[in-house]
Amino acid sequence: MKSFSEIDTTVKRASKSIGFEWGIAEELGKNIRLLEMFGLAGLKNLNSYFKIYNQKQFQKISLISKINTSNIAYCPIISGTNFLDQVINLEKMDEINFENMAFPLLFLPFVSRSTEIIGKRIFLNIDEKEFLLNFNQSIYSNYLSGNIIDAAKKIKIKFIENKNTFEENEWQELYKLSEGTFVEETEQLKNSAAGAGLTDND
Amino acid sequence: MEIQIRDPKEVMKLSRLGSFHQSKLSFLRSFLQEFKNWEYKRDLLDLDENGFGVVIYSFKKKNRIYSLICFANKISDQERSDRVIATKWDAAFTLFDGVPTKQDIERLKQNVPKQEVGRMSFKELTLSRANKSVRIFDYVVECLSKGKQPDKGKLAKVGYLYRTTAVYGSGKFGLADRFRIKNREEIYGPFRLEMMLVYLVRQFTFDQVNHIAKSKNPKKAVTLDPNISRNLGIGNSTGLGMAPFIVNHPLLLNNWIMARETALKQIREIKEVKKKDVDLIISCLQNSKKNIDNWTTESEFQLLKINNLKKDLDLLLQYFLTKFDFEKEFSYNDLYIWAKNNLGEECLEFMVSVMMEPYEKITNPLIRTMSADEEKFFTIPIDKTILDLRKVLELKYSDILKIDFKKKENNQNFWFISKNKEEPRLANRFQDEGSDLEQPLAIARDICKLYERISNEKNSLKIGTFLMNNNDLRHVVRRAFITEKFPYAEIQDNTIGSKLMPIDMLRLKLSFFGAVKFDPRSDKWLRICMFQGAPLPTELTTSSDHWVYNSIN
């Protein structure tokens, strides 16, 4: 088994070798390590992408907008880097769409890391595959295959507002149960158990 | 009185970093302190009459066990080489997490001696190899087998029976990744497991030499006197492989230096200095004079430094004996100011190390701060502005911004990774090929480029937007914002100039390991000694923490 440290270093070097700048190569090392840690086939997808990277043309987007379409497939690495760099502005758009992206799994870790910057979860659709990206701590998904995904027709990124998954009445019900661990204070306990002064602001 | 920590622009110059010495904060010393109460055991010694075979040692506490597995092999004299290009070694080692099974030992026997071309698993934590000292190993065997102890003077010239040529950890060649073990309480300090490996390898060298002597002459042989063993360490040959580490791990570098600087600051802030503490410092200085006399090297560069150290050490001792005023408040601060004005860098930094000796209460809490979670600060703060970046560059890199990279001599070298051994190398940009594959280690040059690039940008421009068209400098944008938070994260010098002495970078790292007797063999590699004078494993519980100053032959 290759260690994550080996994966990080080798990916960084391979990425520089294929033509990316060192700074982006550093990002890719961390990203593929992240995908592999989460059990997603990062290295396999990167390797496949690099095999065609210099043979085919890919759209290298700079400024990301709400809807991004291109006849030439978007490069997932440049798209991802710019997504990461622009996420504070992009968040205001609520939802971002890409059409036609090559090797979209390579785009995913950039989005995952963006959740940490903005402090919000992101729901990512790669065609029919769904990923809930949780503050770069975990990924919840309906996609478990370790296969190569060489293209996505549609990618949807939805910023999720920070809110609880439960209703107030459900909270109250549980809170009431938790009160079962509290002791009702007698007058004696009120005077002796708190430890602070008996009068306020004394 | 509040003393400020020293200015990074003073401390982080290469010549200063290359004058650092071991201290109480050094990893091999803090390792021994922390593992004092662990149960040491030799679990297996299965060597033939020539000392070839397998030996296993362990450290145990509660349910945690670390086992060092040693494989001693036969190699010819022609095959023995310290260089990283070697493929065979007298012995190879791995530190195993737990107790190895027979299957584990069999698997490791096939892989550990191959080192870089073998494969380890997540059960193995560190990996190393070592060669016998041609100068003294056979001599010691010979003496012991004849019932005599070896000559101490002869041993002093070498200082070790074996010399390691690399110690690997943190996921290299399939070893366990750091994340698997980083939450273990006993290894919170940096390089704990590497230090454990080297320490147990030292014991292996004694056991092997005793075993061979005994096999050679069972009736007459004696075992190596523990007083002699104690004064032998483990040698190490270190090449350029270590140099990029300190550039590639800015946060870790900061935390090491910050611990040292904080210790110095707190010592200088001591209002009333106790005589017993000063006596300990003086005694360490006096004892170390003998060690410095035993510090041999053929390097003119190092000889000059050693001679200056000897001369300055006399001045320092003279100060202690004639000028140091106990009655006066903050006398350590006076001492430091005097030393800064009167001593060279080598002795000044030696003094800083020795001043820590009486102050465990200051150093022990700092040891806990010397690891780093580098991932936390990896992401570039994209919401900051060009004005923020400009301020960081002007404040934190002002000396670097003065370097003129249009001048050939400031741009002379480049760092690259050798295809043969995947190790860092340094070459002349104007004579050698390969500069198109330069590693991103010319931080000073790239910082200057970045400063020039932002000169025409609007102050209000966000970093995220700036990066859209400037990803070629992304790596230094990241570093600048790390350095903003961590003052000692960056070497404040040019790492590609014609005057670069790469061994300064090696020595910085090795001093934090706790190495002594730096012996440069060129400007790109050196030999050192580790654990010389350290207590033997069976003596750990009762040993003194100041052993390093007593390692006299």
Chain A partners of B175 at a C-beta cutoff of 8 Å? 3
Chain B partners of A117 at a C-beta cutoff of 8 Å? 379, 382
Helix (H, G, I), strand (E, B) or coil at B2: coil
Contact A21 B474 (CB under 8 A): yes
Segment (H or E) for B29: helix B27-34
How much is the average pLDDT of B312-327? 92
Contact B477 A23 (CB under 8 A): yes
What tokens were used for A147? Answer: 């296969």
Say which of A22, A82, A116 has its CB closest to residue B475. A22
Say which of A4, A81, A116 has its CB closest to residue B171. A4
Percent of chain B topping pLDDT 70: 99
Chosen from A5, A9, A32, A92 to mutate, greatest number of chain B CBs within 10 A: A5
pLDDT in tens, B176-212: 998 888 888 888 888 999 999 999 999 999 999 999 9
**Whole-number pLDDT of residue B551:** 59
Is residue B368 classed exposed, middle or buried when 0-12, 13-18 and 19+ CB atoms within 10 A define those classes?
Answer: exposed
How much is the average pLDDT of B47-64? 96
The DSSP call for residue B100 is: -
Are B473 and B449 within 8 A, CB to CB?
yes
Chain A partners of B107 at a C-beta cutoff of 8 Å? none
Contact A87 B477 (CB under 8 A): no
CA A157 from chain centre, in angstroms, equals 10
Chosen from B97, B119, B168, B177 to mutate, greatest number of chain A CBs within 10 A: B177
Say which of A13, A23, A62 has its CB closest to residue B474. A23
pLDDT in tens, B462-504: 999 999 999 999 999 999 999 999 999 999 999 999 999 999 9
Chosen from A85, A90, A112, A135 to mutate, greatest number of chain B CBs within 10 A: A85
**Whole-number pLDDT of residue A22:** 97
First to last CA, chain B: 43
Largest Cα span, chain A: 83
Closest-CA residue of B relative to A61 is: B468
Q: With bands split at pLDDT 50, 70 and 90, how would you rate the model's confidence at B553? A: very low
DSSP string, B243-301: HHHHHH-HHHHHHHHHHHHHHHHHHHT-SS--HHHHHHHHHHHHHHHHHHHT-----HH
**Whole-number pLDDT of residue B166:** 86
Closest-CA residue of A relative to B172 is: A6
Chain A partners of B122 at a C-beta cutoff of 8 Å? 1, 3
In the predicted model, residues of chain A with pLDDT beneath 50 are: none
Q: B471: distance to nearest CA of chain A, Å?
A: 7
Q: What is the mean pLDDT of chain B?
A: 93
**Whole-number pLDDT of residue A194:** 67
Are B97 and B176 within 8 A, CB to CB?
yes
Instruction: Kindly indicate whether the ipTM for this predicted assembly is greater than 0.95, answering yes or no.
Output: no
Q: With bands split at pLDDT 50, 70 and 90, how would you rate the model's confidence at B542? A: confident
Say which of B171, B179, B464 has its CB closest to residue A88. B464
